[in-house]
Amino acid sequence: MERFTARLYPRTSTGPGTYGFLLGDAANAIHFWRGRPFRDADFVRHEAAMSMLQYRHKSRAWNSMITTDEHGVTRAIKDKIQESLSESLEQGRALDRDADLEALMRQLRAIRDRLAPRVPGMPDDATLLKHLDTLHSQTLYTLVRSGAWDTRIVDGEEVDIDIFYPAERLDRPRSGEWFRA
């Protein structure tokens, strides 16, 4: 979107104007309060912060759908998925749902064991199987054959929205000024 805020209805003699906002999950920590009616200029900081968050998302998204193999060759995940499906068709073999389900469960158990010390409430085997059982056999096959997707490559610098909300205003909110809740 070009803008993240818009005046939907102008202020009238009997009431304030109405504004609409586009808020993504990254913007949920941005809150403000004003002691007087809003005007378009009141949203300049919000527009700037949202633009920065949008840019961060778009620049990371470029790397989120690629994978790098053991030889350092980078390619699109969709190509890796297509290759796994073509492989199955070329071999002319029927998909072995039980074998693929067990292979995927081994991978998920390893991930769960690695994360369990840091993330409470990890799902048990019964919960995982309940969800995986709803997947089509080709989907299970693809998940097993496409391997791990590198999520570290989408990492990068965070957006510093604090530049829009000076510390002195964060500590002592006053009527008519911006602050972060």
More confident residue, 3 or 96: 96
More confident residue, 18 or 63: 18
Can you give the pLDDT at residue 154? 58
Q: With contact defined as beta carbons under 8 Å apart, do 67 and 150 qualify?
A: yes
pLDDT in tens, 4-61: 777 888 888 998 888 777 665 544 445 555 567 777 787 788 788 878 877 777 777 6
Split at pLDDT 50, 70, 90, the class of 180 is very low
Tokens of 116: 């369990």
pLDDT in tens, 92-108: 667 888 999 999 999 99
Mean pLDDT of the chain: 75
More confident residue, 138 or 169: 138
Q: How far, in Å, CA of 111 to CA of 115, rounded?
A: 6
Exposed e or buried b per residue across 152-166, where buried means at least 16 C-beta atoms within 10 angstroms of its C-beta: eebeeeebebeebbe
Indicate whether 127 pLDDT > 90.
yes
**Could you give the percent of the chain with pLDDT greater than 90?**
18
Indicate whether 142 pLDDT > 50.
yes
- ∠33-35-38 over CA atoms, to 5°? 75
Average pLDDT in the 65-77 region? 78
H helix intervals, the chain: 44-64, 77-91, 97-115, 125-132, 137-145, 167-171
